[in-house]
């Protein structure tokens, strides 16, 4: 079994390999609802940030979902044997109770890493996003890193 790291907790195990999840941000995957927006009324153009209920949010941001307990994915035997590393990028759909409703693989290096990451997310616990203090369903990007050590 391979252990990994989540920002702020844990390290790899003695097998020399590790897998871990990191909060979205800085991973090269743009967040839906953020960035410049165009619009406005007569004679003007508006610019602002998107987002809101049900949108694609980032873990750990104000109003965003929170990883309460991240189960560490197992490093697949074949990937370890072949020396494969990489990052699996998942889109997680959480309901208003923080339960995982769906996990979609957006990017994978293959070799069973995506299945391992998906299974770990399904064993994990999350706190839901909030809008005006009320829990809401949302989607969030979660990269899961697999690194041999």
Classify residue 117 by burial, with Cβ atoms within 10 Å: 0-12, 13-18, 19+: buried
CA–CA dist 104, 28 (Å, integer): 17
Q: What is the pLDDT along the chain (149 residues), one digit of tens a residue?
A: 343 333 333 333 333 344 454 443 333 333 333 333 333 333 333 333 334 444 688 888 888 999 999 999 999 999 999 999 999 999 999 999 999 999 999 999 899 999 999 999 999 999 999 999 899 999 999 999 999 88
**What is the pTM for the complete model shown?**
0.65
């Amino acid at each position: 079994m391979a252990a990994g790291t989540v920002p702020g907790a844990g390290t790899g195990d003695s097998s020399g390999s590790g897998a871990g999840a990191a909060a979205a941000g800085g991973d090269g995957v743009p967040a839906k609802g953020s960035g410049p927006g165009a619009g406005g009324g007569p004679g003007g153009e508006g610019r602002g940030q998107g987002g809101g209920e049900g949108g694609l949010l980032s873990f750990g941001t104000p109003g965003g979902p929170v990883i309460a307990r991240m189960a560490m994915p197992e490093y697949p035997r074949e990937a370890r044997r072949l020396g494969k590393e990489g990052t699996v990028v998942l889109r997680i759909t959480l309901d208003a109770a923080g339960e995982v409703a769906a996990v979609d693989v957006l990017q994978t290096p293959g070799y069973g890493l995506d299945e391992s990451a998906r299974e770990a997310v399904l064993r994990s616990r999350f706190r839901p996003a909030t809008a005006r203090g009320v829990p809401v369903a949302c989607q969030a990007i979660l990269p899961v890193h697999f690194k041999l050590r």
